[in-house]
Amino acid sequence: MRAAALAVIALVLAAPAGASEQRPSAAELESELVCPVCETTLDTSNAPVALRMKAFIRERIAAGDTKSEIKASLVDQFGPAVLAEPPKKGFELVAWLLPLAGLALGVVVVGLLAWRWSHTRGAEGEPDETAEPLDPALERRLDDELARYEP
């Protein structure tokens, strides 16, 4: 039963991805490609080359090209820097793994610092052994003041 549910979920999630690949929208591609001049996504760029790239995308969609074919054609013309998202293979994989490694390192450092802090401070209620004792007159005054606020 569980396997059937997982299969249905996989099919539901895969259908939009497949439809997007076969029939991409111009807006979708423009958000996934970068203008080689201003280095922003095509959907935010009005540079002349970005306008030509947008027109090319619309022509290729009208001709029935898939998302991968359109991207591959633009990568052939402008190089891999035209992709807003680096490929998940080869050396470009570092661009995906480096932020994750940094995040993992940050979690480990914060965890170690929290552990160290929690183990170096004294238990609640124990007097601090490094503190100097209070003057007896001051201690008596403090006790009197605290007694005023106790029920």
pLDDT at 14: 45
> Does residue 18 register a pLDDT over 50?
no
Nearest CA-CA partner of 37 in 28, 24, 47: 47
What percent of the chain has a predicted confidence (pLDDT) above 90? 30
Coil, strand, or helix at residue 33?
strand
- Could you tell me the pLDDT band of residue 15, with boundaries at 50, 70 and 90? very low
Check whether domain 2-86 has CATH 1.10.3720.10, yes or no = no
pTM for the model stands at 0.50
Distance, CA of 13 to CA of 19 (rounded, Å): 11
> What is the per-residue pLDDT across 49-69, written as a single tens digit (0 to 9) for each?
999 999 999 999 999 999 989
> Does residue 29 register a pLDDT over 70?
yes
> What is the per-residue pLDDT across 129-138, written as a single tens digit (0 to 9) for each?
666 777 889 9
Distance, CA of 65 to CA of 55 (rounded, Å): 14
pLDDT at 39: 86
Coil, strand, or helix at residue 34?
strand
- DSSP 8-state symbol, 5: H
Map out the domains of the chain as residue ranges: 2-86
> What is the per-residue pLDDT across 68-100, written as a single tens digit (0 to 9) for each?
899 999 999 988 888 887 767 777 778 778 889
- DSSP 8-state symbol, 79: -
Distance, CA of 120 to CA of 6 (rounded, Å): 48
Distance, CA of 18 to CA of 4 (rounded, Å): 21
Answer whether 50's CB lies under 8 Å from 37's CB. yes
Answer whether 41's CB lies under 8 Å from 84's CB. yes
Coil, strand, or helix at residue 124?
coil
